[in-house]
Amino acid sequence: MVPMSPRTFRSHYDVDTPPPGTHLCYEVYDHRRTLIASGHLTNSDEDHAEEVFVGERFRESWRTCAIVWYISWSPCDHCMEMLTRTFLRVNPNVQLHIAFAKVYRLTSGGNIRALRRRGVNIRVMGMNDFYYCWNRFVDTDRSFVPWGNLIPNYYQASHWLNITLSGAP
Protein backbone atom coordinates (compact mmCIF):
# COMPACT_ATOMS: atom_id res chain seq x y z
CA MET A 1 0.00 0.00 0.00
CA VAL A 2 1.24 3.47 -0.87
CA PRO A 3 0.45 5.79 2.04
CA MET A 4 -1.38 9.06 1.42
CA SER A 5 0.01 12.47 2.21
CA PRO A 6 -1.11 14.33 5.34
CA ARG A 7 -2.58 16.98 3.05
CA THR A 8 -4.74 14.37 1.26
CA PHE A 9 -5.99 13.00 4.56
CA ARG A 10 -6.88 16.44 5.89
CA SER A 11 -8.51 17.57 2.64
CA HIS A 12 -10.83 14.56 2.67
CA TYR A 13 -11.47 13.84 6.35
CA ASP A 14 -11.38 17.28 7.99
CA VAL A 15 -14.93 17.78 9.22
CA ASP A 16 -14.78 21.54 8.62
CA THR A 17 -14.15 21.35 4.86
CA PRO A 18 -16.02 19.76 1.98
CA PRO A 19 -13.66 17.15 0.48
CA PRO A 20 -12.66 17.22 -3.17
CA GLY A 21 -14.22 13.75 -3.49
CA THR A 22 -15.09 10.75 -1.39
CA HIS A 23 -12.09 8.99 0.10
CA LEU A 24 -12.11 5.45 1.46
CA CYS A 25 -9.47 3.72 3.58
CA TYR A 26 -10.00 -0.01 3.85
CA GLU A 27 -8.82 -3.13 5.63
CA VAL A 28 -9.80 -6.69 4.78
CA TYR A 29 -9.59 -9.48 7.38
CA ASP A 30 -9.94 -13.21 6.80
CA HIS A 31 -12.09 -15.52 8.94
CA ARG A 32 -9.25 -15.76 11.51
CA ARG A 33 -9.27 -11.94 11.83
CA THR A 34 -5.87 -11.70 10.16
CA LEU A 35 -5.31 -8.61 8.03
CA ILE A 36 -5.01 -9.72 4.40
CA ALA A 37 -5.27 -6.41 2.53
CA SER A 38 -5.41 -2.69 3.12
CA GLY A 39 -5.27 0.49 1.14
CA HIS A 40 -7.03 3.69 0.31
CA LEU A 41 -8.72 5.15 -2.74
CA THR A 42 -10.89 7.96 -3.91
CA ASN A 43 -13.69 8.23 -6.40
CA SER A 44 -12.83 8.19 -10.09
CA ASP A 45 -14.36 10.33 -12.82
CA GLU A 46 -16.98 7.63 -13.40
CA ASP A 47 -17.41 5.84 -10.06
CA HIS A 48 -17.85 6.64 -6.39
CA ALA A 49 -15.18 5.38 -3.98
CA GLU A 50 -17.43 2.53 -2.82
CA GLU A 51 -17.91 1.43 -6.44
CA VAL A 52 -14.17 1.63 -7.09
CA PHE A 53 -13.55 -0.69 -4.13
CA VAL A 54 -16.22 -3.20 -5.18
CA GLY A 55 -15.25 -3.08 -8.86
CA GLU A 56 -11.47 -2.85 -8.71
CA ARG A 57 -10.20 -3.88 -5.27
CA PHE A 58 -12.53 -6.64 -4.08
CA ARG A 59 -11.21 -10.16 -4.79
CA GLU A 60 -13.07 -13.45 -5.19
CA SER A 61 -10.89 -14.93 -2.44
CA TRP A 62 -12.44 -12.42 -0.01
CA ARG A 63 -15.97 -13.84 -0.26
CA THR A 64 -15.76 -14.80 3.44
CA CYS A 65 -14.13 -11.86 5.14
CA ALA A 66 -14.64 -8.74 7.21
CA ILE A 67 -14.12 -5.40 5.50
CA VAL A 68 -13.64 -2.15 7.38
CA TRP A 69 -14.12 1.15 5.56
CA TYR A 70 -13.14 4.55 6.94
CA ILE A 71 -14.90 6.88 4.56
CA SER A 72 -14.94 10.67 4.35
CA TRP A 73 -18.72 10.94 3.78
CA SER A 74 -21.67 8.80 4.77
CA PRO A 75 -22.56 6.75 1.68
CA CYS A 76 -24.92 8.25 -0.88
CA ASP A 77 -28.15 6.48 -1.81
CA HIS A 78 -26.70 5.18 -5.07
CA CYS A 79 -23.84 3.44 -3.25
CA MET A 80 -26.03 2.12 -0.44
CA GLU A 81 -28.41 0.63 -3.00
CA MET A 82 -25.46 -0.95 -4.86
CA LEU A 83 -24.26 -2.45 -1.59
CA THR A 84 -27.62 -3.79 -0.40
CA ARG A 85 -29.08 -4.91 -3.73
CA THR A 86 -25.96 -6.29 -5.38
CA PHE A 87 -22.70 -6.57 -3.45
CA LEU A 88 -23.99 -7.88 -0.11
CA ARG A 89 -26.59 -10.08 -1.77
CA VAL A 90 -23.92 -11.76 -3.94
CA ASN A 91 -21.46 -11.89 -1.02
CA PRO A 92 -23.55 -12.92 2.00
CA ASN A 93 -20.47 -13.98 3.99
CA VAL A 94 -18.87 -10.54 3.85
CA GLN A 95 -19.14 -8.54 7.06
CA LEU A 96 -18.98 -4.85 6.20
CA HIS A 97 -18.14 -2.19 8.78
CA ILE A 98 -18.40 1.46 7.72
CA ALA A 99 -17.13 4.41 9.77
CA PHE A 100 -17.73 7.81 8.18
CA ALA A 101 -16.30 11.22 9.04
CA LYS A 102 -19.14 13.49 7.89
CA VAL A 103 -22.80 13.20 7.04
CA TYR A 104 -23.53 13.55 3.35
CA ARG A 105 -26.68 15.68 3.30
CA LEU A 106 -28.39 13.48 0.69
CA THR A 107 -27.95 10.22 2.62
CA SER A 108 -31.41 8.77 3.15
CA GLY A 109 -32.53 7.12 6.34
CA GLY A 110 -34.28 4.30 4.50
CA ASN A 111 -31.06 3.19 2.83
CA ILE A 112 -29.07 3.51 6.08
CA ARG A 113 -31.62 1.23 7.74
CA ALA A 114 -31.47 -1.18 4.77
CA LEU A 115 -27.69 -1.41 5.21
CA ARG A 116 -28.16 -2.15 8.90
CA ARG A 117 -30.75 -4.85 8.11
CA ARG A 118 -28.18 -6.42 5.77
CA GLY A 119 -25.83 -6.66 8.75
CA VAL A 120 -23.64 -3.67 8.00
CA ASN A 121 -22.22 -1.98 11.09
CA ILE A 122 -22.34 1.73 10.24
CA ARG A 123 -21.11 4.40 12.63
CA VAL A 124 -19.47 7.81 12.86
CA MET A 125 -15.68 8.01 13.02
CA GLY A 126 -14.58 8.88 16.55
CA MET A 127 -11.32 10.40 17.70
CA ASN A 128 -9.64 6.98 17.91
CA ASP A 129 -10.60 6.27 14.28
CA PHE A 130 -8.93 9.48 13.09
CA TYR A 131 -5.77 8.66 15.05
CA TYR A 132 -5.82 5.10 13.72
CA CYS A 133 -6.26 6.17 10.09
CA TRP A 134 -3.53 8.79 10.43
CA ASN A 135 -1.09 6.25 11.84
CA ARG A 136 -2.10 3.45 9.46
CA PHE A 137 -2.70 5.17 6.11
CA VAL A 138 -0.78 8.48 6.18
CA ASP A 139 2.88 8.89 5.21
CA THR A 140 4.24 11.02 8.05
CA ASP A 141 6.27 10.89 11.23
CA ARG A 142 4.16 13.64 12.76
CA SER A 143 1.39 12.96 15.25
CA PHE A 144 -2.21 13.54 14.31
CA VAL A 145 -3.49 16.89 15.53
CA PRO A 146 -7.31 16.89 15.65
CA TRP A 147 -9.05 19.87 14.12
CA GLY A 148 -11.25 21.99 16.34
CA ASN A 149 -14.69 20.80 15.28
CA LEU A 150 -13.97 17.06 15.49
CA ILE A 151 -15.75 16.33 18.79
CA PRO A 152 -18.85 18.49 18.11
CA ASN A 153 -19.12 16.93 14.64
CA TYR A 154 -18.93 13.45 16.17
CA TYR A 155 -21.83 14.16 18.54
CA GLN A 156 -23.91 15.88 15.87
CA ALA A 157 -23.35 13.12 13.30
CA SER A 158 -23.94 10.38 15.91
CA HIS A 159 -27.21 12.04 16.91
CA TRP A 160 -28.25 12.17 13.23
CA LEU A 161 -27.33 8.49 12.77
CA ASN A 162 -29.20 7.37 15.91
CA ILE A 163 -32.34 9.23 14.85
CA THR A 164 -31.98 7.85 11.31
CA LEU A 165 -31.58 4.27 12.51
CA SER A 166 -34.56 4.59 14.84
CA GLY A 167 -36.72 5.55 11.88
CA ALA A 168 -37.75 8.86 13.41
CA PRO A 169 -38.68 11.60 10.92
Domains, in order of start, for the chain = 6-166 (3.40.140.10)
| Collapsed DSSP state (helix, strand, coil) of residue 148 | coil
CA distance 80 to 84: 6
Task: Inform me whether the pLDDT recorded for 21 exceeds 70.
Answer: yes
Q: With CA atoms as reference, report the closest residue to 74 among 24, 8, 27, 26.
A: 24
Which ranges constitute the DSSP H helices of the chain? Answer: 6-13, 49-52, 77-82, 88-90, 109-117, 127-137, 150-166
d(CA 109, CA 18): 21
Nearest one of 129, 132, 130, 138 to 3, comparing CA atoms? 138
Q: What is the mean pLDDT of residues 87-115?
A: 94
pTM, 2 dp: 0.95
Residue 126 has pLDDT above 90, yes or no: yes
Q: Has residue 108 got a pLDDT over 90? A: no
Average pLDDT over residues 61-84: 95
Residue 3: per-residue pLDDT:
95
At 148 the pLDDT is 87
Q: In terms of Cα–Cα distance, which of 96, 127, 132, 138 is closest to 8?
A: 138
Distances in whole angstroms, Cα of residue 117 to Cα of each of 3, 147, 149, 156, 157: 34, 33, 31, 23, 20
Residue 27 pLDDT class (50, 70, 90 cuts): very high
**Cα 147 from Cα 56, distance rounded (Å):** 32
Task: With CA atoms as reference, report the closest residue to 120 among 77, 78, 88.
Answer: 88
pLDDT of residue 169 exceeding 70, the answer is no
Residue 31: per-residue pLDDT: 86
Instruction: Tell me the mean pLDDT in the region 73-98.
Output: 96
Question: Each residue of 4-16: pLDDT tens digit?
Answer: 999 999 999 998 8
Residue scoring higher pLDDT (67 or 104): 67
Instruction: Phi first, then psi: give them for residue 2, nearest 5 degrees.
Output: -90, 120
Catalytic residues: 50
Q: What is the end-to-end Cα distance of the chain in Å, rounded?
A: 42
